[in-house]
A and B are shown apart, each in its own frame.
Chain A
């Protein structure tokens, strides 16, 4: 159980960072498609869509990198938490307004169904993983604090 408490946040951090990187890269490569996805939500003023399409993927990458580094982890946690909160609100508003729009969360997926509650729950789970990964400690650092096997026995 102790080892799990050490490794779980570490695993959560890398899983969250990898997820955000996987989400950011397609958007960086296809900014116009991402801008069209954003427009589909009909939640942003027209003048802001291109700026958001250019900035959000970079913010995702920067926040993920900050989240991995111990010195900037708290700031990374705040940013990732805020991003996920915004995504959840955006998706929920689309669902409640009955808008048939693809999530666009991981770039343009032609086979994607309209965004719905599964995407909202996925983002909520990711938010929980962000909070889990924000717990202090790395396997290497915390392993030193573990009782040695000979001591424990």
Chain B
């Protein structure tokens, strides 16, 4: 590798990093989630390190729709859930989830697979809800729907409103 190539590589990398730094400063990106060590106190059954909430794609989540033992949980505010939601999902707004889980019997068994979703973007609310559910009393499998409600809608996936569904439940 000759010097001119190294100079060019340094210039290109430097330019990219400088522009990236400017982009980072201008857009003020929100942090996508808490550091893994703080995201969940739910440990690996094998005694390993704490694990973060896994993500699941819309296409994969659709395969689970309507299956017994799989529960969709809507982390958005109740008003948004009332407008429309994933069929069979029940509302557990992330802002109130800690209290609701304390006082109510959420119809999820420890064996259930739970898929949480929020409005979209970085989905911190559904990650938080997934953590709460995993930590509640047992380490059930909780997943965060990648892209959230907006991705679900964009994929043309089925939706429903409380008026048209019998399966939707609320705490």
Residues of A within 8 A of B (CB): 28, 31-33, 35-40, 42, 46, 49-51, 53-56, 58-59, 62-63, 66, 72, 74-76, 78-79, 99-102, 108, 110-114
Contact = CB atoms under 8 A, between A and B. Distances in A.
A54 B30 contact: no
A55 B154 CA distance: 27
B58 interface: yes
B57 A101 contact: yes
A51 B58 contact: no
A36 B24 CA distance: 15
A32 B36 contact: no
Given A35-B32, A75-B9, A100 B27 contact: no
B121 A32 contact: yes
A40 B54 CA distance: 7
Given A39-B32, A99-B54, A33 B147 contact: yes
A-B interface, 9 closest residue pairs, ranked by CB to CB distance from nearest: A55-B20, A75-B8, A110-B151, A110-B155, A59-B16, A110-B154, A54-B24, A46-B35, A54-B23
A62 B20 CA distance: 11
Nearest to A45: B35
A79 B37 CA distance: 33
A33 B32 CA distance: 9
B64 to A, nearest CB: 11
Contacts of A102: 57, 146-147
Given A35-B122, A59-B20, A50 B12 contact: no
A58 B33 contact: no
Contacts of A36: 32, 55, 121-123, 146-147
Contacts of A50: 24, 29, 31-32
A41 B146 CA distance: 12
Contacts of A35: 29, 32, 122
Contacts of B123: 36
Nearest to A55: B20
A54 B54 CA distance: 23
Interface string B36-63: 1000000000000000101111111000
Nearest to A72: B8
Given A31-B23, A55-B16, 19 more contacts: A28-B23, A36-B146, A38-B32, A40-B146, A46-B35, A50-B29, A54-B23, A54-B27, A55-B23, A58-B20, A74-B8, A75-B9, A78-B9, A79-B13, A100-B56, A101-B146, A110-B147, A110-B150, A111-B154
